[in-house]
Structure 1
Amino acid sequence: MLKKVSPILLLFLCNCCASQPSFTLTDNELETSVTETLKYYLYYPPEYELNPEKNFPILLFLHGGGEVEEDLNPNERIPPPSLILQGKKFPFLILAPQNSYSKSWWNTRAIKQLLDTVVAENRIDKKKIYLSGISRGGGAAWEMAVQYPETFAAMAVVCGMTPLPYASWINKKMAIWVFHGEDDEVIPVEESESMVKKLEEFGYDVRFTKYENVGHDSWSKAYATEELYDWFLEQSLTN
């Protein structure tokens, strides 16, 4: 038995059917280009000019959110750059790019391009490229370790944000040293504790130093640790 459909309901049904889009999966391609101007400091050890035939290690250092101001007094900068200004001699080159955006994340692709350029234009031992960062820069260091697993021989992260899933993506041949203050109220020490535990479960070569009665400023102690620089020099990227 046929039921009579009202003209209004029939018009509604017709409009609904007519308005349904036809979905098609297309295969397209778009070449993108992202550029960024990076200011940076580049330190050369005294031996660099004295040994023109020698290739040297290089340390890439990523600062935290407190150093984004362009007019920041050089003496207010965080080590290692501040230690250089105080006259400390390092046994390797140090590349310290500047992130000028107070609320933005590091552009790790741009940093990698800068690093590649500096390495290509200087006498760098490509098996001894090191990575370090503090706070926001520490988080970016974890990211770079994931994105470029065949680049860095060793990484030292100080009071950094630690995306836990990264633990399974990092090159197991890269040595890792993590520093954190137990009283850190900006990035809790549990961030580093969780990451180190996960790395140990996966069999990574990782060291962990916690500082009692130290807040977010754990970098002062970490970069004053002479053993850290000796440790860096002991690490070499293997095939």
Structure 2
Amino acid sequence: MKKFLLILCLLCALQQLAAQNLNLYEKKWFIRGNDTLRYRVMFPEKFKPNRVYPLLVFLHGSGERGNDNNAQLAHGGEIFTREAIRHYFPAIVVFPQCPAGSTWSHYKRDHHPKSGNFNIITEAEPPLTQRLLKQLLDSLSESGVVDTRKIYIGGLSMGGFGTYDMITRYPDYFAAAFSICGVADIPQMMQKARNLPLWIFHGAQDNVVPPIADRELYKALMTSGDQHVMYTEYPNLNHNSWDAAFAEPKLLPWLFSNKKKHKKQ
């Protein structure tokens, strides 16, 4: 009984510590006219406004949508608060929150095996939430504290869809990207985002977003001669492959090692 209580107390302490760490992310609201994008942002330790830093934005999945400005930190938020990560990879980290009923990109279910059960709709204009996000990133980039050669994007599930969509719409904006259990418009990726450093993650047993679409994307990019794409598939994992992806020791060193040759105009 004493051992059980000790373990329970330890778990509670760890949960409290994790919650305290997430408080390192400041609550912010990006407002344009009648539209609002909620987001959390964490600045580097010993932040200096006369320096420039990498900018990383992470897009959550459909389960973290809402307006509490908290849920989007559920997956991945804690990683970037770790002391070693903040020391070796000082960066401005942004976690925006997609409102309920909205998405980062246009798509619909089609139950077609080769598309991973999703049909990506490449509209002329992205959803409002993505447009607000791009304006937020532009605002941060123009603030003078962002190294515009080092802007990165990643996302999981619905956020993986959004990651693919944004790097095809703005291929010269990002230095590198990573997607976890997402689906891409392969022709658009081939045309616009080929050779952008990209790491794809997926669970082989994923029955929510089957891995076939990411396999086909990787195959197409490799066949085209793209030397900047990597693919990691976890044989025994279902949809929650993000835990394994975040645990990859080479993910952040790889991500932050990428830099564009020229600053964003």
TM-score if structure 2 supplies the norm length? 0.70
Provide the C-alpha distance between the structure 1 equivalents of 2:238 and 2:44, rounded to a whole number of angstroms: 31
CA distance in 2, matches of 1:76, 1:129: 19
Q: Which secondary structure state, in structure 2, belongs to the residue aligned with residue 179 of structure 1?
A: strand
Q: How many residues align?
A: 204
Q: Which residue of 2 aligns with 1:165?
A: 187
Counterpart for residue 228 of structure 1: 251
- Structure 2: distance between partners of 1:140 and 1:72: 19
Matching residue's letter, 2:256: L
User: Where do residues 110-149 of structure 1 align in structure 2 (5 Å cutoff)?
Assistant: 110-149=132-171
Partner of 2:176: 154
Structure 1, gaps ≥5 residues long: 1-32
> Could you tell me which amino acid in structure 2 is paired with residue 182 of structure 1?
A
Please tell me whether the aligned partners of residues 69 and 97 of structure 2 are also in contact (alpha carbons under 8 angstroms).
no
Tell me the residue number matched to 2:44.
Answer: 45
Tell me which amino acid in the other structure corresponds to 1:221: A
Give, in whole Å, the separation in 2 of the partners of 1:206 and 1:86: 27
Q: Which residue of 1 aligns with 2:64?
A: 67
Alpha carbons of 1:34 and 1:158: their partners in 2 closer, same or farther (altered >3 Å)? farther
Letter paired with 2:166: M
Alignment CA distance shift 1:155-1:73 (3 Å): closer
2:152, 2:201 → 1: CA distance? 16
TM (norm. structure 1) is 0.77
- Do the aligned residues in 1 keep the contact of 2:72 with 2:96 (CA within 8 Å)? no
Which whole-Å deviations, capped at 9, do the CAs of 1:150-175 have from their partners, x for residues lacking one? 10010000001222222222334420
Percent identity between matched residues is 30
CA contact (8 A) 2:64 2:71 kept: no
Aligned counterpart, 1:188: 210
In 2, are the aligned partners of 1:173 and 1:237 still within 8 Å (CA)? no
Aligned Cα RMSD in Å? 2.4
Instruction: Classify 1:184/1:149 alpha carbon distance in 2 versus 1 (closer, same or farther; 3 Å).
Output: same
